[in-house]
């Protein structure tokens, strides 16, 4: 192919990517968000902040803690959060929600980490923080590509950044200003430093990401096991992690001596009104509720076993990248609440890994079928967004408008399952290939002769 033909082809692909991404942004901001706002207003939740709503409790508690040393988990703080977000406090008798709905649910280290923002007005903070999250998310895509697929072409990098920023998960996170996007960047930066053998810095960055411990639980367990397995060469990673964690924890305890017990109480009550993990929710609705927790436990046990098995993996090996990607995929379906679609940004390394080496596993028919289903689930949002935007002016009936409005996001909950299944198949087939190779070597080895 000539250079001019290749340039035209690349330009055409990039043009299609930009068009689909633009339609997704228009769909989300012009069609989807206003409809959600109408529903919230009808339920009595629409008289406060909308843009930046998830970040507001952090800003408020950081400000109150900085200026007045107010307890971020106190009923007074919860009341203030609800008044500012909804225009009223939550009445369980009216709304059917528990009174601690929309309280500050982060560990206090989040306030310590972000305390300077409390000096600025929220109207300014939410604009600046939204822009910062967009930049950091774009940069995290580049970092994941460098870790997982360093040979990616400029077209691949540009397309990946555009589609990620204009995906439903990231758009939801940007609009709500979810800390999950910041955590995803810190994780990508930590692993980039790890691959470059900057172990102390990597461990310190990982500790900063503990502002969302539910996202970091499995991956932190694995990386600490990895560090212990090669302690002489890797102790600096654990040293950086525990030192930064200690500094953040001690600083928080100096300001709020009882925050740990209070936060654990909030976490315990949070489970009463948040959606269960995706696998629990799916199995509970489809097969019977007792199977949901069983599948969650099985996945978590499998994740721990995988962490133990891969503890000696080298950072530049496919095994290491596969372990990281699979643990994050398991986190999205077995640990995170089902509604936390904005945290699905941690699926990026798994998606990139699958896209970069799917040909190695293509001879397997189960893998090809799963790959086709997973690709359709992933790209469905960008395929259907232009359709929804084009047909929206022609829709009049309420039922038709609801169907069209939810069309681009119908596969959002299935993407983590597809990624997890594909990575699991890659792990299984890779293990089979290794066993086959070992068997061939054993057969080819000559038997010792006796004189």
For 49-115, give the secondary structure using H, E and C. CCCCCCCHHHHHHHHHHHHHCCCCCCHHHHHHHHHHHHCCCCCHHHHCCCCCCCCCCCCCHHHHHCH
Taking the C-alpha atoms of residue 368 and residue 202, their distance in angstroms, rounded to an integer, is: 36
Q: How many Cα atoms sit within 13 Å of 429 on the Cβ side?
A: 18
Q: Answer yes or no: are the C-beta atoms of 345 and 180 closer than 8 Å.
A: yes
What band does 84 get if pLDDT is binned at 50, 70 and 90?
confident
Indicate if the pLDDT at residue 97 is higher than 80: no
* Over residues 30-55, mean pLDDT: 78
* Over residues 277-297, mean pLDDT: 72
Termini Cα distance of the chain = 64
* Over residues 97-123, mean pLDDT: 81
* Over residues 1-13, mean pLDDT: 75
Token digits for 116?
A: 């300077």
Which DSSP letter does residue 167 get?
A: S
Burial class (CB in 10 A: 0-12, 13-18, 19+), 373: middle
Taking the C-alpha atoms of residue 142 and residue 147, their distance in angstroms, rounded to an integer, is: 9
Question: pLDDT per residue over 320-348, tens digit each?
Answer: 999 999 999 999 999 998 888 999 999 99
Token digits for 101?
A: 């709905």
Domain boundary assignment for the chain:
120-433
Q: Which of 341, 306, 109 is nearest to 221 (CA)?
A: 306
What pLDDT score was predicted for residue 35? 86
Can you tell me which residue has the tokens 């953040």? 248
DSSP-derived 3-state class of residue 179: helix
What pLDDT score was predicted for residue 451? 43
Of residues 400 and 38, more confidently modeled = 38
In degrees, rounded to 5, the angle at the alpha carbon of residue 402 between the alpha carbons of residues 401 and 405 is 85
In degrees, rounded to 5, the angle at the alpha carbon of residue 78 between the alpha carbons of residues 342 and 270 is 50
What pLDDT score was predicted for residue 383? 95
Neighbours of 281 (CB within 10 A): 17
Question: pLDDT per residue over 408-438, tens digit each?
Answer: 999 999 999 999 999 999 999 877 666 555 5
Q: Quick one: CA dihedral 121, 123, 126, 127, positive or negative? A: negative
Of residues 98 and 21, more confidently modeled = 21
Taking the C-alpha atoms of residue 87 and residue 81, their distance in angstroms, rounded to an integer, is: 9
Question: pLDDT per residue over 160-210, tens digit each?
Answer: 999 999 999 999 999 999 999 999 999 999 999 999 999 999 999 999 999
Percent of the chain whose predicted confidence (pLDDT) is above 70 = 87
Can you tell me which residue has the tokens 């069609």? 31
List, as own/partner pairs, every contact residues 264-271 make where C-beta atoms lie below 8 angstroms and the sequence separation is at least 24, other chains included: 265/73, 266/73, 266/100, 266/103, 266/104, 266/105, 267/105, 269/98, 269/100, 270/100, 270/105
How high is the mean pLDDT of the chain?
Answer: 87
What band does 287 get if pLDDT is binned at 50, 70 and 90?
very low
What pLDDT score was predicted for residue 382? 96
What band does 91 get if pLDDT is binned at 50, 70 and 90?
low
What pLDDT score was predicted for residue 70? 86
* Over residues 231-253, mean pLDDT: 95
Indicate if the pLDDT at residue 288 is higher than 50: no
Q: Which of 337, 214, 333, 338 is nearest to 264 (CA)?
A: 214
Cα 159 to Cα 142, 154, 166, 208, 382: the distances in Å are 11, 8, 11, 29, 12
């Amino acid at each position: 192919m000539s250079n001019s033909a290749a340039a035209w082809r690349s330009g055409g692909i990039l043009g299609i990517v930009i068009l689909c991404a633009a339609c997704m942004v228009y769909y989300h901001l012009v069609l989807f968000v206003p409809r959600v706002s109408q529903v919230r207003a009808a339920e009595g939740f629409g008289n406060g902040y909308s843009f930046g709503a998830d970040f507001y409790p952090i800003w408020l508690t950081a400000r109150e803690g900085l200026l007045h040393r107010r307890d971020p988990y106190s009923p007074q703080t919860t009341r203030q959060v609800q008044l500012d977000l909804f225009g009223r406090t939550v009445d369980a008798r009216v709304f059917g929600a528990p009174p601690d709905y929309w309280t500050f649910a982060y560990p206090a280290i989040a306030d310590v980490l972000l305390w300077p923002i409390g000096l600025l007005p929220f109207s300014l903070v939410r604009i600046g923080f939204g822009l910062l999250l967009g930049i950091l998310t774009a940069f995290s895509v580049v970092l994941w590509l460098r870790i997982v697929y360093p040979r990616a072409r400029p077209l691949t990098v540009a397309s990946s950044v555009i589609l990620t920023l204009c995906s439903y998960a990231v758009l939801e996170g940007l609009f709500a200003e979810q800390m999950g996007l910041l955590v995803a960047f810190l994780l990508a930066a930590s692993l980039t430093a790890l691959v470059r053998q900057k172990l102390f810095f990597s461990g310190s960055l990982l500790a900063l990401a503990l502002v969302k411990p539910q996202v970091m639980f499995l991956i932190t367990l694995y990386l600490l096991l990895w560090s212990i397995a090669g302690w002489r060469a890797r102790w600096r990673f654990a040293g950086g992690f525990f030192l930064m964690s200690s500094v953040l924890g001690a600083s928080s305890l100096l300001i709020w001596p009882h925050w740990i017990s209070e936060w654990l109480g909030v976490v315990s009550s949070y489970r009463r009104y948040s959606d269960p993990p995706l696998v629990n929710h799916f199995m509970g609705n489809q097969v019977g509720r007792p199977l949901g927790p069983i599948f969650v436990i099985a996945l978590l046990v499998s994740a721990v076993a995988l962490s133990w098995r891969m503890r000696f993996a080298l950072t530049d090996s496919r095994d290491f990248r596969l372990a990281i990607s699979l643990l994050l995929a398991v986190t999205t379906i077995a640990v995170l609440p089902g509604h936390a679609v904005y945290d699905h940004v941690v699926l990026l390394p798994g998606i990139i890994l699958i896209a970069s080496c799917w040909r190695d596993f293509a001879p397997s028919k189960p893998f090809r079928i799963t790959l086709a289903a997973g690709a359709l689930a992933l790209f469905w949002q960008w395929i259907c967004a232009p359709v929804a935007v084009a047909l929206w002016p022609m829709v009049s009936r309420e039922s038709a408008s609801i169907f069209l409005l939810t069309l681009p996001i119908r596969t959002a909950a299935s993407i983590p399952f597809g990624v997890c299944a594909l990575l699991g198949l890659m792990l299984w087939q890779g293990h089979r290939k290794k066993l086959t190779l070992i068997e061939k070597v054993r057969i080819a080895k000559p038997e010792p002769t006796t004189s």
